[in-house]
């Protein structure tokens, strides 16, 4: 009897153990729930082991309380999508999140996209070493919304052992949602006949003609494009007994943006219930369409460009070239009216030529698919080296280190006595322009933003209007040459003026060396400085006939060539610097702004660069002012600073979202300004304080930060 009882007990225990082991893979394929009042979330896996190939089919599972939702990858007018940080994971590579078809939510006049109730976001990943287990550790940052939005964080974990990739009980659920990820539409029975633009340049509409193997029920069109635009609620017209649909989505320029959608890439997602189809197109008007071109609007933009160019003459950015401007005036004292008129007209022509050259550079970069912006020449080490060498040569000429004249095309720069060639005056204007345009100015940003969003003719027209504005003072002197003639005739006093101007040019060269340091590193900057300084003894020796004919020219050419190849060979990309400095400044990451605003924070953004003199002026005169600094360091205010000294596609895209392509740039966000407000190029203490007050309007205080959707 005891044996029977013992055998029966052993059989029962063995059965229980077998049942336990049989269910173990399902248990091991899900992490613990992270629970809140609004719902819960966890990681799940379609397999209970890593397997020999190491391919992982994972899911981020949300279960939300009734009425609450999370956001799709492109949230629409408000919100931000879930974000995962996998850095704490072990043996994990290439985790890629997919997005099933979302729902449209319309509330308070806002159009948003997301998920309610339950959703699984599929994740494809792999094990670095399939022979080892994988430890998934994800920090999740997400926003849940009802009538208020609450930013939440969760730490998620899931361990998958090495061994066979046995199926888990979650595989079917993950696969169900993976089938809801919009693709080419074949499985869903959906198709696009055409996707393009209708309307006109200023009031464009995205129009899609779609087909379905079965009748449409509630078709919708979700448009994703450049951050400068948002998209309205679609109008839907069904045809062919519901098997064909024409969907029209109005394009809405974001507040403060002045751009057009034509030529921009768009991702278009067709949704009908749980079916989805996705495609990417370049926004074009239909063939044969004649979109309206607003000549009156272009005239206004050209007027703004002219005014912006004129203002450039008094912006802090002109400080590095004041010596050239002053020397071009004082050297004409007591001269002939005709000579003065020709010289200043030649300088004006040099300014126009520089702006035309910048326009052609922009066209070339746009044609190559590269990001463009105002002052981008200062992001290029080759340009900096060229300007450093030229400025130092001009300084040596003003110091009298050499008496032979530079090539006739450059001879008028710093020319002495009566040597004031028209070509020299031309290049004086050209050089002054190239050095005086690293920063934006009032009205200039509007004009440049308009131009860069359009075609070649508009770009050239706007840049020439800028040049005409900047050249206006030279044209006025040419029209009234007595303004320059009444100055004292050049004499011994001019020697002291030239030395002072030479020191100013050397100061400008040193400033450019610091910019080169920021872009290519200290070693490259020091090497270029040594080569540029070495031109002085070469010229001095040649002046005293210590060198054979042609040696000085060959030596200077060799030093110049060596300087040009130094940044790409000796220079090293400088690691991303802390853009902050004094105070609580953090490095700008535009994707964080929506989340900070959702928490009720006020966000102040400053985009700057080492080569932007106006940026430094704003910092010293306004941002470091006691009243402003106190507000920016207050609780509830987050300050973000972006460094555009070197090319940065993320910063370029952020500027474009406001229709801006140059700096300085400052913006304020907050509960009262959720979409952000761009500030003028030249800041004022009262203007910044007023913007902060406006952004704080509507802030909700309490133990938990929330914000209305």
Q: Examine residue 16 and state whether it is found in any structural domain, yes or no.
A: no
Q: Examine residue 274 and state whether it is found in any structural domain, yes or no.
A: yes
pLDDT at position 65, please? 94
Q: CA-to-CA distance for 134 and 111, rounded, in angstroms?
A: 40
Q: Are 477 and 343 in contact (CB under 8 A)?
A: no
Residue with tokens 């040193």: 510
Residue with tokens 């004086």: 428
In terms of domains, do 235 and 122 share one? no
Listed residue (126, 153, 122) closest to 139, CA to CA: 153
In terms of domains, do 103 and 161 share one? yes
Decide which of 178, 204, 227 is a domain's last residue. 178
Range list of β-strands (E), 616-692: 637-643, 665-670, 673-678
Q: Examine residue 596 and state whether it is found in any structural domain, yes or no.
A: yes
The CA distances from residue 621 to 626, 628, 682, 688, in Å, are 10, 10, 10, 12
Task: Let me know how long the chain is.
Answer: 709
In terms of domains, do 537 and 660 share one? no
Residue 223 is part of a domain; what is its CATH number?
A: 2.60.40.10
Q: Are 96 and 80 in contact (CB under 8 A)?
A: no
Q: CA-to-CA distance for 319 and 680, rounded, in angstroms?
A: 20
Residue-wise over 215-246: b if at least 16 C-beta within 10 A, else e?
A: ebeebbbbbbbbebbbbeebebebeeeeebbb
pLDDT at position 150, please? 87
Structural tokens at position 343: 């010289």
3 state SS of 349: helix
* Phi and psi, residue 189, nearest 5°: 75, 25
In terms of domains, do 231 and 368 share one? no
In terms of domains, do 540 and 597 share one? no
Range list of β-strands (E), 370-439: none
Q: Which helix (H) or strand (E) holds 154?
A: strand 148-160
Q: Examine residue 561 and state whether it is found in any structural domain, yes or no.
A: yes
Q: CA-to-CA distance for 590 and 233, rounded, in angstroms?
A: 25
Q: Are 84 and 95 in contact (CB under 8 A)?
A: yes
**Which 3-state string (H, E, C) describes 183-211?**
ECCCCCCEEEEEEEEEECCCCEEEEEEEE
DSSP 621: I
Q: Which domain holds residue 249?
A: 190-282
The DSSP secondary structure of 350-369, one letter per residue, reads HHHHHHHHHHHHHHHHHHTT
DSSP 609: -
In terms of domains, do 123 and 265 share one? no
- Residue 664: cis peptide before it, omega within 30 degrees of 0: yes
Listed residue (215, 167, 212) closest to 188, CA to CA: 212
Structural tokens at position 31: 């992490």
Q: Examine residue 308 and state whether it is found in any structural domain, yes or no.
A: yes
**Which 3-state string (H, E, C) describes 111-162?**
EEEEEECEEEEEEEEEECCCCCCEEEEEEEEEEEECCEEEEEEEEEEEEECC
Residues 6+ apart with CB under 8 A from 258: 446, 449, 450, 453, 659
Burial of residue 65 (CB within 10 Å: 0-12, 13-18, 19+) is middle
In terms of domains, do 149 and 201 share one? no
Q: CA-to-CA distance for 197 and 248, rounded, in angstroms?
A: 9
Decide which of 542, 569, 596 is a domain's last residue. 569
Residue 617 is part of a domain; what is its CATH number?
A: 3.40.30.10
Decide which of 260, 282, 304 is a domain's last residue. 282
Burial of residue 282 (CB within 10 Å: 0-12, 13-18, 19+) is exposed
Residue 136 is part of a domain; what is its CATH number?
A: 2.60.40
Burial of residue 365 (CB within 10 Å: 0-12, 13-18, 19+) is middle
In terms of domains, do 219 and 170 share one? no
In terms of domains, do 72 and 99 share one? yes
In terms of domains, do 660 and 691 share one? yes
pLDDT at position 338, please? 76
| Residues forming a β-bridge with 668 | 604, 677
Listed residue (406, 390, 374, 409) closest to 321, CA to CA: 390
pLDDT at position 324, please? 65
In terms of domains, do 635 and 615 share one? yes
In terms of domains, do 479 and 625 share one? no
Residues 6+ apart with CB under 8 A from 13: none
Q: CA-to-CA distance for 469 and 461, rounded, in angstroms?
A: 12
- The DSSP bridge pattern shows strands 229-231 and 275-282 to be unpaired
Q: Which helix (H) or strand (E) holds 329?
A: helix 322-330
Structural tokens at position 682: 């030249």
pLDDT digits (tens, 9 = 90+) for 22-55: 444 444 589 999 999 999 999 999 999 998 888 9
Q: Examine residue 648 and state whether it is found in any structural domain, yes or no.
A: yes
pLDDT at position 397, please? 77
Q: Examine residue 290 and state whether it is found in any structural domain, yes or no.
A: no
The DSSP secondary structure of 648-661, one letter per residue, reads -HHHHHHHHTTT--
Residue stretches of the chain with pLDDT short of 70? 1-28, 108, 185-186, 201, 253-260, 287-297, 316-336, 368-373, 402-421, 439-441, 445-446, 453, 482-495, 497, 571-583, 698-709
Q: Examine residue 577 and state whether it is found in any structural domain, yes or no.
A: no
* Phi and psi, residue 384, nearest 5°: -60, -45
Helix extents (H) in 56-200: 171-178
The CA distances from residue 387 to 358, 378, 380, in Å, are 15, 10, 11
Residue with tokens 């609004």: 38
Q: What's the total number of domains in the chain?
A: 4
């Amino acid at each position: 009897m005891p044996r029977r009882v013992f055998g029966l007990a052993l059989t029962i225990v063995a059965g229980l153990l077998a049942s336990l082991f049989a269910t173990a893979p399902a248990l091991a394929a899900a992490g613990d729930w992270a629970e809140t009042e609004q719902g819960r979330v966890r990681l799940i896996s379609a397999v209970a082991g890593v397997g020999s190939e190491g391919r992982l089919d994972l899911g981020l599972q949300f279960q939300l309380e009734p009425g609450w939702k999370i956001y799709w990858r492109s949230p629409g007018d408000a919100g931000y999508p879930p974000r995962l940080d996998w850095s704490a994971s072990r043996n994990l590579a290439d985790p890629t999140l997919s997005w099933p078809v979302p729902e449209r939510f319309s509330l308070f006049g806002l159009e948003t996209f997301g998920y309610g109730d339950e959703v699984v976001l599929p994740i494809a990943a792999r094990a670095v070493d399939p022979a080892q287990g994988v430890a998934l550790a994800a920090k999740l940052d997400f926003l849940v919304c009802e009538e208020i939005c609450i930013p939440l964080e969760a730490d998620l974990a899931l361990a998958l052992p090495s061994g066979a990739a046995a199926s888990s009980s979650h595989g079917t659920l993950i696969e169900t949602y993976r089938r809801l990820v919009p693709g080419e539409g074949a499985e869903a029975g959906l198709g696009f006949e055409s996707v393009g633009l209708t309307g006109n340049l200023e009031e464009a509409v995205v129009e899609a003609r779609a087909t379905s193997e079965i009748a449409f029920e509630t078709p919708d069109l979700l448009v994703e494009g450049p951050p400068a635009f948002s998209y309205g609620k679609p109008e839907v017209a069904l045809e062919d007994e519901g098997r064909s649909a024409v969907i029209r989505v109005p394009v809405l320029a974001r507040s403060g943006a002045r751009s057009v959608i034509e030529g921009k890439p768009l991702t278009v997602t067709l949704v009908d219930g749980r079916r989805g189809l996705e495609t990417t197109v370049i926004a074009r008007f239909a063939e044969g369409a004649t979109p309206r071109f607003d000549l009156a609007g272009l005239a206004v933009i050209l007027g703004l460009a002219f005014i912006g160019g004129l203002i450039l003459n008094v912006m802090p950015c002109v400080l590095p070239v004041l010596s050239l401007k002053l020397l071009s005036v004082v050297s004409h004292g007591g001269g002939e009216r005709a000579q003065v008129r020709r010289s200043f007209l030649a300088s004006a022509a040099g300014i126009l030529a520089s702006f035309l050259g910048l326009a052609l550079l922009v066209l070339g970069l746009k044609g190559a698919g590269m990001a463009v912006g105002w002052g981008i020449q200062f992001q290029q080490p080759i340009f900096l080296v060229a300007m450093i060498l030229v400025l130092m040569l001009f300084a040596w000429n003003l110091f009298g280190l050499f008496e032979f004249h530079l090539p006739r095309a450059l001879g008028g720069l710093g020319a002495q006595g009566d040597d004031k060639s028209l070509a020299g005056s031309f290049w004086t204007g050209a050089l002054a322009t190239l050095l005086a345009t690293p920063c934006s100015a009032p009205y200039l940003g509007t004009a440049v933003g308009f131009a860069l969003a359009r075609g070649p003719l508009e770009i050239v027209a706007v840049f020439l209007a800028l040049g005409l504005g900047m050249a206006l003072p030279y044209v006025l002197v040419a029209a009234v040459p007595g303004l320059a003639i009444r100055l004292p005739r050049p004499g011994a006093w001019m020697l002291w003026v030239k030395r002072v101007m030479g020191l100013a040019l050397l100061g400008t060269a040193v400033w450019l060396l610091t910019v080169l340091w920021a872009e290519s590193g200290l070693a490259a900057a020091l090497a270029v400085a040594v080569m540029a300084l070495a031109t002085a003894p070469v010229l001095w020796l040649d002046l005293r006939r210590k060198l054979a004919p042609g040696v000085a020219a060959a030596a200077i050419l060799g030093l110049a060539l060596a300087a040009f190849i130094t940044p790409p060979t000796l220079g090293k990309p400088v690691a991303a610097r802390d853009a902050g400095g004094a105070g609580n400044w953090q490095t700008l990451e535009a994707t964080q702004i929506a989340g900070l605003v959702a928490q009720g924070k006020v966000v102040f953004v400053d985009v700057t660069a080492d080569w932007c003199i106006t940026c430094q002026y704003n910092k010293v005169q306004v941002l470091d002012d006691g009243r402003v600094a106190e507000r920016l360091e207050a609780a509830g205010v987050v300050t973000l600073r972006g460094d555009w000294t070197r090319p940065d596609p993320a910063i370029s895209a952020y500027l474009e979202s406001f229709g801006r392509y140059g700096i300085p740039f400052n913006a304020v966000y907050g509960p009262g300004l959720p979409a952000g407000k761009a500030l003028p190029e030249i800041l004022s203490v009262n203007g910044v304080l007023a913007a902060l007050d406006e952004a704080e309007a509507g802030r909700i205080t309490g133990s938990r930060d929330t914000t209305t959707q």
